[in-house]
Amino acid sequence: MSSNSFYPSDFDLHLFHEGNLFKAYNLFGAHVRNEKTFFTLWAPNAKNVRVIGDFNDWMGRGTEMKRVTSEGIWFLEIPKNLEGSLYKYEILSESGRVIHKTDPFAFMTELRPRTAGVVYTLDGYKWRDEKWHSDRHPSQIYEEPMSIYELHLGTWKKKGEGENDLYTYRELSKMVIPHIKEQGFTHIEVMPLTEHPFDRSWGYQSTGYFAATRRYGLPEDFMYFVDECHRQGIGVIMDWVPGHFCKDAHGLHHFDGGFSYEYENSWDRENYVWGTANFDLSKTEVHSFLISNALFWMDYYHIDGFRVDAVSNIFYWPNRDGLEANPHGVSFLKKLNKAVFAFKPEALMIAEDSSDWPQVTAPVHQGGIGFNYKWNMGWMNDVLDYMETHWNERSGKHHQMTFSLMYAYSENYILPFSHDEVVHGKKSLLDKMPGDYWQKFAQLRLLLMFMIAHPGKKLLFMGTELAPFSEWKDLEEVDWHLMDYDMHRCFNDYFKQLMHVYKNVRPLYELDHNPDGFQWIDVHNHDQSIFSFSRKDKKGNTVVIVCNFGDYGYGNYKVGVPETGIYEELLNSDDAAYGGSNRVNKTKIVTVEKEFHGQPAYVDINVPPFGAVYLRHVDDKGRN
């Protein structure tokens, strides 16, 4: 396109229809240049289109769009600077029905419940996160700690009880960033921020894929939030939903009276579980739309990557008998990942995938789907089922805590305890634990130590650091008042120390994706429900982990260790400072040089009830 016009070039049109216009946001939507405003739209089933807005009393007089291709590209140039104006598209369908739609490429929309697009330019923000980006390298993510704080901005903290009593992106940056730094997280994952009409969809049912929701402020306010995260060393991952969209009248559903964005066949189109419509991933124009959307958030908002929602709903046709692969969905995901990594090699592309589809995190050129991480849903389900089982019956489910190591290195995994596990009657993590008040806290401390020691990166939902008894209340803020209670305050002290240990002890993360970094010590102790294993780093430094999921503690418990010499206790979940019974190992521990558990030596240690112990090898002579 020329410097004075946004009129679509033949080449841009070819790329769009081919499915390869990966920066379609530079052409489609509303753009202001040289005191003129340009509108470009894809509406293949429209008979006529007019731009209506507050600049023409919503009447569309003299603002009829010109159809520039037979495939349904429409264009209009208005010789005015309409920056800040409200607008919609008035579409006359082939059946004669008049439809008013929000621009799919609108960079900003009105605050719900209003739905018009806003002519808005995103080029004015002055970024200050150059160091963050210059320090990123594609390979370093695999060998570095990654602890992700899943965040819903609307309920992290609220000003009041009303639906609009929300803190802004800028206000939240002053509170959220110091908090997650203090807690020890490396990244935040923000639940979907694309514009959405219904608060309690949490952003998963979107209408405005290119518009950051107005609930928390203007686009540049969210840019400021991301910028400040980066300046404080925090990565920002965005929850993203390329599989389906909501059916609200102003959105993508039946956009031009036909099925432009969704499948024409109702059996493939309808997502009966979520009451949404599935994107038609056989359409190359939809590829251009969605892949452009991913690049847009990285380009304009400096997002570091995406947690891609409901990937199994893309792998498989949702309404067909059995698991029938959707070749269009598979092809789209490969194309998406190739485009994202070509644009940003250090990006995080995380599949929220509950299926057993192979090679999800293998590169496309090696026959994989091309993500670089995948949520380990199997681990999460097995572990939570085990933890919710009374300890007297856990011996019968011993295998659920070990099975994940059979496939732990088949993909690059993230271990998730997300919002999905603490809402809709599923109970909080703390309340899932059986037993009395003390036993619940002890088992939650144990669970998190087991999680941190298990191979894979980590994700926890906001509030976990407080050990709430209540599940997520998606209309209220996190239970910050819990910090007034001793047990919760002690738990938070423990949580911060656990995350500090995780980030500073290389054996706990450096070989997360290499089987050389893990070894079972005792995997068969069903009767006592005790597991012991070791983690090591590239240099061979070792941490021994002992986890007791039973209610009985042990003194002088023998554990085989891979090195002789001196060990010291790195962390004990039963420390009195954290609310435990203080069955700790205060002094340095000297190995007995006798084979045990298949190891060359063993140690005698205190193993607390419902407790976990991390032991670090010092050296053969006890020097640090």
Chain segment 495-553, per-residue pLDDT in tens: 999 999 999 999 999 999 999 999 999 999 999 999 999 999 999 999 999 999 999 99
60 shares its domain with 28: yes
**Annotation says 309 is catalytic:** yes
Distance of CA 73 to the CA centre of its chain: 34
CB proximity list for 407: less than 8 A, separation 6 or greater: 378
Confidence of residue 363 (pLDDT cuts 50, 70, 90): very high
267 shares its domain with 164: yes
Alpha-carbon gap, residue 444 to 545, rounded angstroms: 16
Catalytic option among 221, 304, 352, 537: 352
Tokens of 421: 């596990």
* Residue 421 belongs to some domain of the structure: no
Query: For position 620, what pLDDT does the model report?
Result: 65
Query: For position 2, what pLDDT does the model report?
Result: 44
* Residue 422 belongs to some domain of the structure: no
99 shares its domain with 151: no
Q: How many structural domains comprise the chain? A: 3
400 shares its domain with 539: yes
261 shares its domain with 353: yes
Domain boundary among 348, 375, 402: 375
Tens of pLDDT along 549-595? Answer: 999 999 999 999 999 999 999 999 999 999 999 999 999 999 999 99
- Average of per-residue pLDDT across 599-618: 97
* Residue 272 belongs to some domain of the structure: yes
**Checking DSSP bridges between strand 86-93 and strand 187-190, what pairing results, if any?**
unpaired
Alpha-carbon gap, residue 447 to 445, rounded angstroms: 6
Over 90: is that where the pLDDT of 4 sits? no
Query: For position 623, what pLDDT does the model report?
Result: 43
Query: For position 163, what pLDDT does the model report?
Result: 83
Ramachandran angles phi, psi of 547, nearest 5°:
-125, 125
Catalytic option among 90, 220, 262, 309: 309
Please give the residue range of the domain that contains residue 24: 10-118
Alpha-carbon gap, residue 367 to 182, rounded angstroms: 41
198 shares its domain with 305: yes
- Average of per-residue pLDDT across 366-388: 98
By residue count, the chain amounts to 624
Query: For position 321, what pLDDT does the model report?
Result: 80
Alpha-carbon gap, residue 96 to 115, rounded angstroms: 23
291 shares its domain with 245: yes
For residue 621, give the CATH number of its domain.
2.60.40.1180
Name which of 162-166, 209-213, 487-491 the model is least confident about: 162-166
Q: Decide: 75 and 39 in contact? Cβ < 8 Å.
A: yes
* Residue 126 belongs to some domain of the structure: no
Over 90: is that where the pLDDT of 624 sits? no
Cβ atoms within 10 Å of 469's Cβ, excluding its own: 14
150 shares its domain with 273: yes
Query: For position 621, what pLDDT does the model report?
Result: 57
CB proximity list for 386: less than 8 A, separation 6 or greater: 394, 397, 400, 401, 549
**Annotation says 321 is catalytic:** no
Instruction: Tell the burial category of 620 from Cβ atoms under 10 Å away from its Cβ (0-12, 13-18, 19+).
Output: exposed
221 shares its domain with 255: yes
Cβ atoms within 10 Å of 556's Cβ, excluding its own: 9
In whole angstroms, how far apart are CA 589 and each of 95, 228, 359, 486?
82, 44, 43, 31
What is the full DSSP assignment across 226-280? Answer: HHHHHHTT-EEEEEE--SEE---TTSSTTTTSS-SSB-SSHHHHEETTTTEEEB-
Over 60: is that where the pLDDT of 222 sits? yes
Query: For position 109, what pLDDT does the model report?
Result: 98
* Residue 3 belongs to some domain of the structure: no
- Average of per-residue pLDDT across 255-275: 95
Q: What angle do CA 46, 52, 53 make, to 5 degrees?
A: 150
What is the residue-averaged pLDDT of the chain? Answer: 96
Percent of the chain residues past pLDDT 90, beyond the cut: 95
Q: Decide: 90 and 52 in contact? Cβ < 8 Å.
A: yes
For residue 169, give the CATH number of its domain.
3.20.20.80
Confidence of residue 280 (pLDDT cuts 50, 70, 90): very high
Confidence of residue 483 (pLDDT cuts 50, 70, 90): very high
* Residue 519 belongs to some domain of the structure: yes
What residues pair up with 74 in beta bridges, in sequence order? 41, 67
- 3 state DSSP class of 430: helix
* Residue 200 belongs to some domain of the structure: yes
308 shares its domain with 351: yes
452 shares its domain with 595: yes
* Residue 131 belongs to some domain of the structure: no
Q: Decide: 542 and 534 in contact? Cβ < 8 Å.
A: yes
305 shares its domain with 439: no
Tens of pLDDT along 453-467? Answer: 999 999 999 999 999
Handedness of CA 445, 510, 336, 294 (dihedral sign): positive
Over 60: is that where the pLDDT of 1 sits? no
